[in-house]
């Protein structure tokens, strides 16, 4: 079979474009290849790389966890990551138009992806606003989470709380609320009981100083808006707007800072952490292998879940970013490089986190299991607590929260660009007026997000975090893999890739796309449903009505896929079999047209040569 080179080929000659490529001739492309790579890396490397992977590694057998992690990475994560990048680069469109061309019956996948990206950005930007709030608060003379003499502190706040065994800064381990305190106002309390009940200033600052969650009655009683958080959320959207309003030529420049700065900070924090007493113990806890843990199915599912949500296929971001590449870009190399960097970053972050946790464990004289945690409790309570004890705490706090801010912004850029590109390609008038379109989109985001920056906003964020993308994105990507492999055809997809990089993917990739990746996704979905537990936040259990709203949010995106399929069948013409035949037939034939255009150029050049 004829091979089409990727460098100095006919596809790169001035004036070359395929017949269908004419639609894309005005489509902007990345100014530099590195802009694309940094954008993809910035999207994939997010807050979860810092606050989730290290804890999972420690929890699931230390260094032994790397075995299931690497297995799941190779058979599920990278194949799906590669698939979405290749789809975007070859079709040069956003998610909606791309899936409409590949298989019109399943165009609803594109709409599902857009809706999921919208829901995810809605709550994710609120977390970024928290980072911005902590960053700004770090510029005060004294860090506000160091002392207990602030207006928001309670009688249980103790600046030396961590020095007492049994106490934990983990948000999920907070056992006593304000109503509990009143039961002891007229009683003599044992010192050990007081120690066990005490709360650190950092925990009270996060829950009572910044969020004021104690003034809320729950998810249906969020209280008043927190004006400081409202301004922070507005600031986040202003940053996003001016980074994205002109397209990839502006965002491609911004990521030079937002994608690279976190690595500088992680390196600085690792160097500082290595000098702290107890750091070596923390690293041992992080890496010491416990191979018996590999017999647990939960460990393997944790690895699969972390791999999938870390790389982020299915949100439409990879597809959108790759759609601005040159057709002959080596997407295979890019997929391997960026996914490897993402995973190495997670591993590297573990050293930074556990050096500090080892230091805190030694300093507080408690087991490391009492300070090891994941999620917001790690980055908004435990880590700020630790760096507050270091000389020059203000400096360490500023660079740490600036790092979190940039990690979050990169991922937010990606989610927003996925929506902008998908809708802009489907409705060209939006692309022509991008500045206005992006402004309206972020205004909608901001208005919807106001409920999340009220006193009980954390309940809304927690609800959205559970239902916005968890189940629905797995369902959508399962359909993506099945449609590419079986409806569009894995062989045809391989030929598309051959046009771009000069050779077809090997059998390994074909088997992963057709069989392994769908099983990988189904396993995560089934395990999640089997182990489903009612939604809670600390000692608050969400009412059934709130969970039903959450499931309605999840189903709203999932139902886009069968809903659009049914609509397409009803509105198509002909008999049922004719309708299905048409809707299952790809509506673009870019591969054949590109090959035809290349052959035409070859013939014309040969004819010119004959006359010379």
Annotated binding site for Na(+): 42, 44-45, 49, 310, 342, 407, 410-411
Helix (H) or strand (E) holding 541, with range, is: strand 540-541
Q: Cβ–Cβ contacts within 10 Å for residue 275, how many?
A: 9
Q: Are 76 and 325 in contact (CB under 8 A)?
A: no
- Residue 536 in 3-state DSSP? strand
Distance CA 75, CA 126 (A): 33
**Residue 138, C-beta contacts closer than 8 angstroms, at least 6 positions apart:** 394, 397, 398, 401
Nearest of 127, 135, 81, 111 to residue 411 by alpha carbon: 127
Largest Cα separation within the chain, whole Å, is 106
Residue 541 bridge partners (DSSP): 536
Backbone angles phi, psi at 581, to 5 degrees: -60, -45
Place of tokens 């970013």: 321
Distance CA 217, CA 178 (A): 13
Q: Cβ–Cβ contacts within 10 Å for residue 46, how many?
A: 25
Nearest of 371, 280, 314 to residue 84 by alpha carbon: 314
Angular region, 391: left φ>0, alpha ψ -120 to 50, beta rest: beta
Q: Are 65 and 293 in contact (CB under 8 A)?
A: yes
Six-digit token pair at 295?
């017999």
Report the binding-site residues: 42, 44-45, 49, 310, 342, 407, 410-411
Distance CA 221, CA 456 (A): 7
**Residue 78, C-beta contacts closer than 8 angstroms, at least 6 positions apart:** 311, 335, 336, 339
Exposure string of 436-474, with b = 16+ CB inside 10 Å and e = fewer, is ebbeebbeebbeebbbbbbbbbbbbbbbbbbbbbbbbbb
Gyration radius of the chain over CA positions: 26
Distance CA 375, CA 385 (A): 15
Six-digit token pair at 1?
């079979």
């Amino acid at each position: 079979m004829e091979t089409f080179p990727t460098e100095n080929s006919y596809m790169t000659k001035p004036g070359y474009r395929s017949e269908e490529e004419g639609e894309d001739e005005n489509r902007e492309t990345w100014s530099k290849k590195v802009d694309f790579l940094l954008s993809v890396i910035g999207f994939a490397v997010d807050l979860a790389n810092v606050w989730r992977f290290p804890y999972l590694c420690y929890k699931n057998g230390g260094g032994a966890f790397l075995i299931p992690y690497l297995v799941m990475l190779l058979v599920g994560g990278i194949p799906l990551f590669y698939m979405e990048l290749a789809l975007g680069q070859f079709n040069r469109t956003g998610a909606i138009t791309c899936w409409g061309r590949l298989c019109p019956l399943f165009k609803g996948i594109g709409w599902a992806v857009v809706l999921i990206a919208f829901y995810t950005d809605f709550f994710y930007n609120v977390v970024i606003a928290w980072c911005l709030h902590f960053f700004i608060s770090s510029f005060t003379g004294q860090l506000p989470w160091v002392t207990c003499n602030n207006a928001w502190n309670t009688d249980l706040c103790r600046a030396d709380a961590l020095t007492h065994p049994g106490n934990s800064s983990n948000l999920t381990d907070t056992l006593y609320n304000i109503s509990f305190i009143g039961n002891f106002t007229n009683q003599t309390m044992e010192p050990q009981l007081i120690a066990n009940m005490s709360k650190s200033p950092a925990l009270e600052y996060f829950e009572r100083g910044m969020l004021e969650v104690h003034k809320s009655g729950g998810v249906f009683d969020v209280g008043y808006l927190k004006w400081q958080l409202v301004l922070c959320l507005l600031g986040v959207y202003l940053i996003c707007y001016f980074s994205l309003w002109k397209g990839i030529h502006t965002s491609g420049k911004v990521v030079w800072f937002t994608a690279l700065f976190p690595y500088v900070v992680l390196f600085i924090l690792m160097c500082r952490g290595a000098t702290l007493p107890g750091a070596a113990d923390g690293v041992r806890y992080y890496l010491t292998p416990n191979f018996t843990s590999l017999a647990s199915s939960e460990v393997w599912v944790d690895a699969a879940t972390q791999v999938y949500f870390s790389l982020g296929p299915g949100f439409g971001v990879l597809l959108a970013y790759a759609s601005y590449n040159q057709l002959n870009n080596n997407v295979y190399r890019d997929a391997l490089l960026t996914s490897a960097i993402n995973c190495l970053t997670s591993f590297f972050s573990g050293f930074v986190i556990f050096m500090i946790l080892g230091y805190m464990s030694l300093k507080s004289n408690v087991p490391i299991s009492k300070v090891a945690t994941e999620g917001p409790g790690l980055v908004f309570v435990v880590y700020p607590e630790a760096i507050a004890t270091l000389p020059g705490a203000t400096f360490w706090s500023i660079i740490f929260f600036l790092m979190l801010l940039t990690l979050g912004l990169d991922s937010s850029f990606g989610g927003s660009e996925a929506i902008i590109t998908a809708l802009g390609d489907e409705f060209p008038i939006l692309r022509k007026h991008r500045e206005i379109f992006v402004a309206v989109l972020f205004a909608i985001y901001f208005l919807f997000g106001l409920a999340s920056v009220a006193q009980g906003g954390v309940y809304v964020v927690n609800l959205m975090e559970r239902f916005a993308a968890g189940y629905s994105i797995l369902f959508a990507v399962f359909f993506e893999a099945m449609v590419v492999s079986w409806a569009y055809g894995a062989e045809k997809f391989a030929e598309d890739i051959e046009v771009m990089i000069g050779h077809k993917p090997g059998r390994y990739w074909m088997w992963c796309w057709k069989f392994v990746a769908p099983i990988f996704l189904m396993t995560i979905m089934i395990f999640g449903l089997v182990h489903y537990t009612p939604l809670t936040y600390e000692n608050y259990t969400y009412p059934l009505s709130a969970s039903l709203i959450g499931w309605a949010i999840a189903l709203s995106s999932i139902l886009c896929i069968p809903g659009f399929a049914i609509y397409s069948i009803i509105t198509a013409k002909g008999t049922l079999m004719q309708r299905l035949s048409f809707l299952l037939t790809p509506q673009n034939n870019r591969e054949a047209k590109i090959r035809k255009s290349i052959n035409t150029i070859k013939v014309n050049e040969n004819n010119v040569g004959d006359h010379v």
